[in-house]
Amino acid sequence: MRAWKQTALTLGLVAVSSVGLAQPAPPSDAQVKSRVDALVAQMSLEEKVGQLTQAGGISFGGGPGPEEALRRGGAGSVLWVNDTKRFNELQKIAVDESRLRIPVLYGLDVIHGYRTIFPIPLAMASSWDPSVHERAAEVAAREARAAGIHWTFAPMLDIARDARWGRIAEGAGEDPYLGAAMAAAQVRGFQGPYLGAPDRLLACAKHFAAYGAADGGRYYDPVYVSEGQLRNVYFPPFAAAVKAGVGSFMSAYMDLNDVPAAANPWLLRDVLRGEWGFSGFVVSDAIAVRNLVIQGLARDGKDAAARALAAGLDMDMASGTFAQNLVALVKDGVLREAQIDDAVRRILAVKVRLGLFEQPYADEARAAAVFADPEHREAARRAAQRSMVLLRNENKLLPLPQSLTNVAVIGPLADSKADTEGSWMVFGHVPAAVTVLEGIRARLRGARVAHAPGPEIRREVPSFFEDFIPGPKKPAQTKEQAEAAFQQALETARGAGLVIAVMGELANMSGEAASRSSLELPGRQQELLQAIVALGKPVVLVLMGGRPLSIGWAAENVPAILEAWQPGTEGGHAVADVLFGDVNPGGKLPVTFPRNAGHSPLYYTGPMAGDEVAQLYVHQKSGSDSRPSRELKGFRRVSLKPGETQTVAFPLGPEELRYWSTSQRRWLQEAAAFDVWVGGDSTAALHADLSVVP
Ligand code: BGC
């Protein structure tokens, strides 16, 4: 179908049904407990501490690998390996050579796909369709599990309201309600109906908590937020993950109100276990236990280990601080062995539930067949289609006619596989994405589709992750080379009837250690875009990247703008599907686009374009505390045929109307007057008054 659909929404009541799937039964709690008890009873203190230790499978700086630790039961988990053969080799040491033969738990960052790469999480939140994110996590789990991975360090659930913070790419954006829905969907997708379901992974809700509120949007900086902000804004996705049954949590790096999250008993014990009843285990972020010394909390490594464990942290990721100190801390009487046992039990219970004792190895032959499943690419294409947001479309420039004969595809991101897949592609991953150029060429067979990248873009300060990428580094373009590339891009645009500019950020400009102080298009892209628009031809801007950008000039001067984010393996096909009208770009922004980085942090101020997501907002007019001007409390993405009307129902009860009161330090649902709005975006105007009476 060529034309995009017009939408019409009304609100009312619909029946809700649920579908139950028959699945094999997981072991009972009593069965898990008796296996764990039997193991713990045989373990030495050293072996117990081993289970609380996660070792790096590759050594940074030439240290020893994890073999020796595995042999003596000194590492219960390994991370940063990405090779099925190597998984099996290491597992064989744990299973055949260690005294108690406890299998090792492999963890890796499987964030938005493993071999088949899906759009980044921020993009998938733009779908406003949790089923898209659930399916992506399911496919990622299937591929990663086939490769030998048991545990993903995902979902990332940090609400982020400052676009300068690079990790905004990894989460669901600024809204806690949408974030909670996406959190639950990902847990369901990664873990399946129960922990240990076939072809699934153990999920890890990270980074607990409020990492996204880092001062100034600088990546590991401290966070100062009120308890009200924590409970009303930053906690809801984490609470939703617990409710969905997530098996593990990762503590955040930074200081939270002057107490580092990795040694924060209020966070890890009182809230997570006490209030929410979380029964899985908590791992630190990488090297975070050792960092407690640098953060000025702990005197030394021994103090750091004691304080982290006492606060409720169960596993030390890659710092060796538990391994070096916990035995002595028990012998010195600083910690009780029962405290160690509690942590060991939580980790062993997860290993039992995952079925690792029965099936410790990966089947190397099966992995390739799983990766090649065509349904995975179909799911990735659909996810990318659903994630795209139409930001502008003047004079119905889009959709483009299939009859185009002479098109120029310009920009540094137009033909870059790595930047189409996006961030978190580490440890030997080979990008296999269809680029936007390839997608458009595949669509316009027989037409002239010229390409020029223009001047290169690159980070001003290299990322420390670049040290882990093997091979020689590409030297930067000289000024003269950049100028020649600029002129060539302009010439290519001049020779075409229509220009598709593919611009934005490189994959390594967002994600971890990728904060920016400016949100402008990097390099000379803005200048090139202006020069192309000045040619007087129709121009479509396809934006790619991992964060909102300041596109004020483009928003007024480029007739059509599509936000494609980092769209993954099928990204180029999906962009073409949208540009040529096969699918409706019905996504909505889950974050505000600031006009300028100086406006950060920012939430609910910006216009949203698109259609087909019914949304409900509330505002409590007065009460014990002042309340936000609008809060999202319901959404549903619906597909409508031209002229069709659908009815969408949202419950509005105590769950939606309560909040954490800072003045009273408790949850409140007050007898008060509320505004209620419904519509297609956060400026929804259809209004009703609602009164809650005592
Ligand atoms: C990141 C985590 C990640 C971990 C393991 C850390 O640097 O903050 O998100 O899961 O590394 O790779």
Give 75-111 as a DSSP string. -SEEES---HHHHHHHHHIIIIISTT-PPPEEEE---
> Which residue's CA lies nearest to atom 8 of ligand 1?
285
| pLDDT given at position 24 | 57
Q: Which residue has the tokens 């458009």?
A: 440
Structural contact between residues 450 and 409, judged by C-beta atoms closer than 8 angstroms: yes
CA distance 638 to 154: 27
Confidence of residue 61 (pLDDT cuts 50, 70, 90): low
Confidence of residue 606 (pLDDT cuts 50, 70, 90): very low
> Which residue's CA lies nearest to atom 7 of ligand 1?
286
672: its two tokens: 């008060």
- Three-class SS state of 255: strand
Q: What's the distance, CA 246 to chain centroid?
A: 15
Strands (E), 441-571: 448-452, 498-504, 539-544, 560-563
Average pLDDT of the chain to the nearest whole number: 93
- Distances from the Cα of 689 to the Cα of 213, 553, 648, 678, 692, angstroms: 33, 38, 19, 12, 10
**Residue 15: pLDDT over 60:** no
Distance 336 CA to ligand 1 centre (A): 30
CA distance 185 to 650: 18
Please name which of 590, 545, 539, 589 lies closest in space to residue 567, comparing C-alpha atoms.
Answer: 545
**Residue 596: pLDDT over 90:** no
Distance 206 CA to ligand 1 centre (A): 9
Distance 153 CA to ligand 1 centre (A): 7
For residue 80, the ligand 1 atom closest to its alpha carbon is 12
Residues contacting 19, CB < 8 A, separation 6+: none
From 81, 112, 250, 423, the mutation candidate for ligand 1 (largest count of ligand atoms within 8 A of CB) is 250
| pLDDT given at position 5 | 38
Mean pLDDT of 577-585: 94
> Which residue's CA lies nearest to atom 11 of ligand 1?
286
**Residue 525: pLDDT over 80:** yes
Residues contacting 532, CB < 8 A, separation 6+: 410, 489, 490, 493, 499, 501, 539
Q: What percent of the chain has pLDDT over 70?
A: 95
CA distance 168 to 174: 9
303: its two tokens: 């103090």
| CA triple 300-303-305, angle to 5 deg | 105
- Distances from the Cα of 571 to the Cα of 436, 438, 679, angstroms: 7, 10, 29
Using only the alpha carbons of the chain, give its radius of gyration: 26
Mean pLDDT of 454-478: 87
Identify the DSSP state of 322.
H
| pLDDT given at position 19 | 34
Mean pLDDT of 661-682: 94
| pLDDT given at position 76 | 98
From 251, 285, 289, 467, the mutation candidate for ligand 1 (largest count of ligand atoms within 8 A of CB) is 285
Q: What is the pLDDT of residues 72-83, one digit of tens each?
A: 999 999 999 999
**Residue 680: pLDDT over 80:** yes
Q: Which residue has the tokens 């003045």?
A: 663
Output the CA torsion 283→265→253→174 (10° steps).
100
Please name which of 526, 452, 557, 537 lies closest in space to residue 494, comparing C-alpha atoms.
Answer: 537
For residue 318, the ligand 1 atom closest to its alpha carbon is 5
- Report CA torsion sign: 66, 71, 76, 77: positive
Mean pLDDT of 609-616: 73
Distance 642 CA to ligand 1 centre (A): 46
Query: If 0-12 CB within 10 Å is exposed, 13-18 middle and 19+ buried, where does residue 622 land?
Result: exposed
Question: How close are the terminal C-alpha atoms of the chain, in Å?
Answer: 53
| CA triple 98-54-197, angle to 5 deg | 85
Any residues with Cβ below 6 Å from ligand 1, and which?
Answer: 109, 153, 206, 285-286, 512
If one counts every other C-beta atom within 10 angstroms of the C-beta of residue 494, the result is 13
Confidence of residue 611 (pLDDT cuts 50, 70, 90): low
Q: What is the pLDDT of residues 293-314, one digit of tens each?
A: 999 999 999 999 999 999 999 9
| pLDDT given at position 17 | 30
From 105, 153, 290, 465, the mutation candidate for ligand 1 (largest count of ligand atoms within 8 A of CB) is 153
> Which residue's CA lies nearest to atom 12 of ligand 1?
109
Structural contact between residues 228 and 280, judged by C-beta atoms closer than 8 angstroms: no
Highest-confidence segment of 19-23, 469-473, 577-581: 577-581
From 60, 79, 106, 109, the mutation candidate for ligand 1 (largest count of ligand atoms within 8 A of CB) is 109
Mean pLDDT of 410-428: 92
CA distance 326 to 487: 63
Mean pLDDT of 603-624: 78
| pLDDT given at position 138 | 98
Distance 244 CA to ligand 1 centre (A): 22
Give the residue numbers annotated as catalytic, written as ranges.
Answer: 285
CA distance 170 to 591: 12
Distance 205 CA to ligand 1 centre (A): 12
Q: Return phi, psi of residue 691, to 5°.
A: -120, 130
> Which residue's CA lies nearest to atom 2 of ligand 1?
285
CA distance 74 to 49: 7
> Which residue's CA lies nearest to atom 10 of ligand 1?
153
| CA triple 432-437-441, angle to 5 deg | 105
> Which residue's CA lies nearest to atom 4 of ligand 1?
286
CA distance 39 to 52: 15
Distance 285 CA to ligand 1 centre (A): 6
Mean pLDDT of 643-663: 92
Give the pairing of strands 9-11 and 646-648. parallel
> Which residue's CA lies nearest to atom 5 of ligand 1?
286
Please name which of 480, 585, 649 lies closest in space to residue 11, comparing C-alpha atoms.
Answer: 649
For residue 207, the ligand 1 atom closest to its alpha carbon is 9
For residue 156, the ligand 1 atom closest to its alpha carbon is 9
**Residue 330: pLDDT over 90:** yes
Higher pLDDT, 425 or 394: 394
CA distance 378 to 438: 17
Mean pLDDT of 513-535: 97
Distance 218 CA to ligand 1 centre (A): 16
Distance 512 CA to ligand 1 centre (A): 8
Distance 433 CA to ligand 1 centre (A): 24
CA distance 505 to 546: 7
In our burial notation (b when 16+ CB lie closer than 10 A, e otherwise), range 437-464 reads bbbbbebbeeeebbbbbbbebeeeeebe
pTM assigned to the model: 0.94
DSSP per residue, 389-438: EEEEEGGG-PSPPTT--EEEEESTTTT-HHHHH-S---SS----PPPHHH
> Which residue's CA lies nearest to atom 6 of ligand 1?
286
From 106, 427, 512, 515, the mutation candidate for ligand 1 (largest count of ligand atoms within 8 A of CB) is 512
For residue 170, the ligand 1 atom closest to its alpha carbon is 9
- Three-class SS state of 241: helix
Distance 423 CA to ligand 1 centre (A): 13
CA distance 539 to 493: 10
Please name which of 471, 469, 533 lies closest in space to residue 501, comparing C-alpha atoms.
Answer: 533
| pLDDT given at position 464 | 81
For residue 154, the ligand 1 atom closest to its alpha carbon is 10
Q: What is the pLDDT of residues 184-201, one digit of tens each?
A: 999 999 999 999 999 999
Please name which of 227, 186, 232 lies closest in space to residue 206, comparing C-alpha atoms.
Answer: 186
Mean pLDDT of 251-256: 97
Q: What is the pLDDT of residues 116-172, one digit of tens each?
A: 999 999 999 999 999 999 999 999 999 999 999 999 999 999 999 999 999 999 999
Distance 254 CA to ligand 1 centre (A): 13
Structural contact between residues 547 and 163, judged by C-beta atoms closer than 8 angstroms: yes
555: its two tokens: 């928003």
**Residue 429: pLDDT over 60:** yes
From 248, 317, 319, 465, the mutation candidate for ligand 1 (largest count of ligand atoms within 8 A of CB) is 317
